[in-house]
């Protein structure tokens, strides 16, 4: 399968990223409109820290939580012959009716910020993929775009981990449940940071490639 040029893998990816870009742009627009209108909007941040929004009557707000259960809770697997197992370091999403206040506003601002960053990253990716579709991978702008995506992947992961920790902390200090103990645990995905570092290296390769391409085009 062709990777570059018309009717290639990159042109297929351009279509996919374009669809993603318009979906995120629409989500951002709807979020801002409903937040400004002040009605029926549920800010959702799942257990991995991914943001989304729900709109309509009776929508719930969701935040990521980490918890442990009472040691007395009996877990076993008779079919495997395991009589005693333990449930530890669990992560889930806590859903509750949204209440207007500082926490809701902080989450709403966070949601708008995260969606804006995702939109910006997709714009950069669109730019890169379009040049690949046009068969010109070594555009000088591509190195800059890839560097931005890389830093966004690295810093975005740190921000995501901080958000999840902050939400865990909020749940641990306000919510109680019998047999459950909410706690706050850092959840940094090292692979996401390594991915960002790999993209940084690829950006440097593209920068050198762009320079060589320019040299080659000005060699008579």
Partner 1 sequence: MAIRVKLDHILLDRRLSLTDLADRIGITIANLSVLKTNKARAIRFSTLDALCRELNCQPGELLEWTSEESERAPSRPAARR
Place of tokens 């991978």: 137
CA distances from 124 to 34, 45, 169 (A): 27, 24, 34
Is 178 one of the binding residues for partner 1 (CB under 8 A)?
no
Query: In whole angstroms, what is the distance from residue 175 CA to residue 96 CA?
Result: 11
Q: How far apart are CA 66 and CA 180, in angstroms?
A: 10
Identify which of residues 190 and 220 has a Cβ nearer to partner 1 in the complex: 220
Please count the residues of this chain forming the interface with partner 1, following the rule CB under 8 A.
Answer: 5
1 lines the binding site for partner 1 (CB under 8 A): no
The answer to the question of residue 219 lying near partner 1 (CB under 8 A) is: yes
User: Among residues 181 and 211, whose Cβ is nearest to partner 1?
Assistant: 211
* Contact status: 140 vs partner 1 (CB under 8 A): no
Q: By C-beta, is 26 or 212 nearer to partner 1?
A: 212
Name the H helices within 66-139: 102-133
CA-based nearest residue to 64, from 177, 153, 172, 156 = 172
Indicate the residue among 99 and 219 with the shorter CB distance to partner 1: 219
CB nearer partner 1, residue 39 or residue 214: 214
Of the candidate spans 56-64, 86-94, 101-109, 211-219, the one that interacts with partner 1 by CB under 8 A turns out to be 211-219
Query: Which residue among 1, 36, 190, 220 contacts partner 1 (CB under 8 A)?
Result: 220
- Rounded to a whole number of angstroms, the minimum distance from the CB of residue 215 to partner 1 is 5
214: contact with partner 1 by CB under 8 A: yes
Between β-strands 82-85 and 75-77, what pairing exists: parallel, antiparallel or unpaired?
antiparallel
Q: How far is the CB of 131 from partner 1 (least distance, A)?
A: 22
Which one, of 192, 113, 196, 189, lies nearest residue 149 by Cα?
A: 196
| Pairing, β 180-183 against β 61-69 | antiparallel
Judged by DSSP in three states, 156 sits in helix
What is the C-alpha separation between 59 and 83, in angstroms, rounded?
Answer: 41
The residue length of the chain stands at 220
Q: Among 60-68, 100-108, 170-178, 212-220, which window interacts with partner 1 (CB under 8 A)?
A: 212-220
Among 72, 84, 178, 215, binds partner 1 (CB under 8 A): 215
Contact residues for partner 1, defined by CB under 8 A = 214-215, 218-220
């Amino acid at each position: 399968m062709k990777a570059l040029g018309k009717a290639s893998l990159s042109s297929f990816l351009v279509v996919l990223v374009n669809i993603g870009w318009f979906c995120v742009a629409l989500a951002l627009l709807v979020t801002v409109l409903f937040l400004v209108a002040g009605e029926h909007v549920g800010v959702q941040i799942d257990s991995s820290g991914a943001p989304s929004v729900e709109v309509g009557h009776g929508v719930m707000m969701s935040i990521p939580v980490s918890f442990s259960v009472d040691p007395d809770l009996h877990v076993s697997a008779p079919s495997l012959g395991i009589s005693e197992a333990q449930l530890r370091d669990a992560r889930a999403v806590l859903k509750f009716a949204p209440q207007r206040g500082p926490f809701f506003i902080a989450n709403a601002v966070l949601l708008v910020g995260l969606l804006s960053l995702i939109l910006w990253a997709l714009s950069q990716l669109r730019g890169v993929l379009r040049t690949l579709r046009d068969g010109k991978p070594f555009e000088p702008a591509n190195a800059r775009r890839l560097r931005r995506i890389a830093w966004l992947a690295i810093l975005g992961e740190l921000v995501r981990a901080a958000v999840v920790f902050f939400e865990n902390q909020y749940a641990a200090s306000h919510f109680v449940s019998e047999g459950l103990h909410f706690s706050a645990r850092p959840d940094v995905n090292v692979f996401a940071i390594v991915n960002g570092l790999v993209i940084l290296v690829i950006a440097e390769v593209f920068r050198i490639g762009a320079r060589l391409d320019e040299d080659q085009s000005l060699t008579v």
